[in-house]
């Protein structure tokens, strides 16, 4: 990705600068081994190797049918809804897919964090009290939680606190985005359309007064170089979770954009932490520089302990709370609800047509 001059129309050039890195060898459908009732019983439980006896094979896209609601307009101009099915990527393991320089930059920055810099993980799925995390990127506070906190920014507090860390992750996140584009092109387009529905309201400004160093301020201000969206440096990701030595019980994420996957890679020197998907009976051991694309939003997932050494994971995703925050998209959404627009997948193109400067060239 290159930054262009201020007088050019396109703030970022998304044209691939290198040959595509196509690693996928096969698409394979998977079916659940647990019924819905048995899967629900696993929610909130520690996992064992017996819950994921099948190994996720490298460079194979595992998919299953997923039901979604198709909204359309009939011949009488009435809005209709019907259930349809689409292919949903469940998991894809790409070994050693992160480039060494991107890995090294992120690894050095993460290891430079002190113990006090990490935050306790308050999620109920956290099965290890000593595990720690940081949330970077964009994430508005839940209603009520900002009251009394004196923090109302959409950029997370750790983003403002550790600008060098977020800058060190840029190459890694771009590497992940490129892998999605090259190996799951149709999915990447879907995720990109979702990103184009994450437009920031005109005039929205975070309070960056706590940042005293000019270079750090420039890093934080350019989190989205277009100054239009809730994306991180032109990728399809809005938010990143950094986890340190956390064992999670089985849980679905539930707060990601519907139909999207997460991208996970690990860093450090460690043993343990195998990720298990009990409903399908699959699991994977992620080594440093491996990338796992998976449907964590809908699927139960948990990892195995104990963890020996230092295991860091980078989890990049799109948070659903960032959708429909701008008046432009709200107007289009209202038109869509009234029947004047009928295709959700074309929504981002409609948004782009109302903005004076084009944002991307695809």
The answer to the question of residue 361 being in a domain is no
Closest residue by Cα to residue 154 from 167, 138, 174, 170? 138
The answer to the question of residue 234 being in a domain is yes
Q: Determine which helix (DSSP H) or strand (DSSP E) holds 37, and give its type and residue range.
A: helix 36-42
The number of distinct structural domains making up the chain is: 1
Written as six digits, the tokens of 279 are: 């409903």
The answer to the question of residue 359 being in a domain is no
Written as six digits, the tokens of 316 are: 């990049």
Q: What is the CATH number of the domain that holds 109?
A: 2.60.120.590
pTM of structure: 0.83
DSSP state of 32: -
Q: Determine which helix (DSSP H) or strand (DSSP E) holds 3, and give its type and residue range.
A: strand 2-3
Written as six digits, the tokens of 267 are: 């860093």
In the prediction, which pLDDT does 325 show?
82
In the prediction, which pLDDT does 105 show?
97
Written as six digits, the tokens of 277 are: 């998907």
Instruction: List per-block mean pLDDT (blocks of 10 residues) for the chain, which spans 362 residues.
Output: 34 58 96 95 94 98 88 69 88 98 98 93 64 93 59 93 97 98 96 90 90 96 91 96 94 93 97 97 98 96 94 97 71 44 40 34 28
In the prediction, which pLDDT does 310 show?
95
Closest residue by Cα to residue 351 from 334, 337, 332? 332
The answer to the question of residue 129 being in a domain is yes
Contacts of 348 (CB under 8 A, 6+ apart): 192, 193, 195, 196, 197
In the prediction, which pLDDT does 4 show?
32
CB 240 within 8 A of CB 232: yes
In the prediction, which pLDDT does 128 show?
63
The answer to the question of residue 362 being in a domain is no
Q: Which residues pair with 229 in a beta bridge?
A: 199
The answer to the question of residue 171 being in a domain is yes
**Cα–Cα dist 352/268, whole Å:** 41
Contacts of 153 (CB under 8 A, 6+ apart): 160, 206, 207
In the prediction, which pLDDT does 349 show?
44
Domain range for 258 is: 2-353
The answer to the question of residue 209 being in a domain is yes
């Amino acid at each position: 990705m290159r930054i262009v001059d201020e007088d050019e129309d396109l703030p970022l050039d998304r044209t691939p600068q290198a040959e595509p890195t196509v690693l996928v060898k096969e698409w394979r459908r998977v079916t659940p081994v647990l019924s819905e009732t048995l899967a629900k019983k696993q929610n909130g439980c520690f996992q064992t190797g017996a819950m994921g006896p099948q190994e996720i094979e490298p460079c194979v896209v595992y998919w299953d049918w997923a039901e979604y609601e198709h909204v359309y307009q009939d011949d009488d101009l009435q809005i209709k809804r019907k259930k349809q099915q689409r292919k949903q990527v469940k998991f894809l393991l790409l070994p050693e897919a992160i480039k060494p320089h991107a890995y090294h930059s992120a690894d050095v920055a993460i290891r430079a964090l002190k113990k006090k810099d990490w935050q306790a993980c308050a999620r109920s799925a956290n099965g290890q009290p000593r595990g720690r995390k940081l949330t970077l990127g964009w994430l508005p506070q839940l209603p009520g939680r900002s009251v009394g906190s004196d923090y109302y920014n959409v950029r997370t507090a750790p983003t403002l606190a550790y600008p060098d860390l977020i800058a060190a992750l840029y190459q890694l996140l771009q590497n992940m985005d490129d892998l999605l584009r090259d190996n799951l092109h149709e999915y990447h387009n879907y995720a990109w359309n979702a990103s184009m529905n994450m437009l920031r309201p005109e005039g929205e400004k975070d309070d960056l007064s706590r940042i005293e160093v000019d270079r750090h301020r420039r890093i934080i201000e350019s989190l989205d170089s277009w100054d239009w969206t809730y994306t991180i440096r032109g990728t399809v990701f809005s938010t990143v979770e950094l986890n340190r030595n956390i064992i999670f019980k089985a849980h679905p994420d539930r707060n990601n954009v519907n139909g999207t996957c997460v991208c996970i890679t690990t860093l450090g020197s460690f043993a343990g932490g195998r990720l298990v998907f009990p409903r399908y009976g699959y699991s994977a051991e992620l080594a440093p520089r491996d990338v796992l694309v998976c449907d964590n939003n809908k699927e139960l997932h948990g990892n195995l302990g104990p963890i020996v050494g230092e295991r860091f994971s980078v989890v990049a995703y799109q948070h659903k709370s960032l959708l429909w925050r701008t008046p432009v998209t709200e107007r289009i959404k209202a038109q869509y609800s009234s029947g004047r627009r009928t295709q959700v997948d074309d929504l981002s193109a409609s948004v782009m047509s109302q903005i004076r400067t084009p944002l991307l060239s695809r």
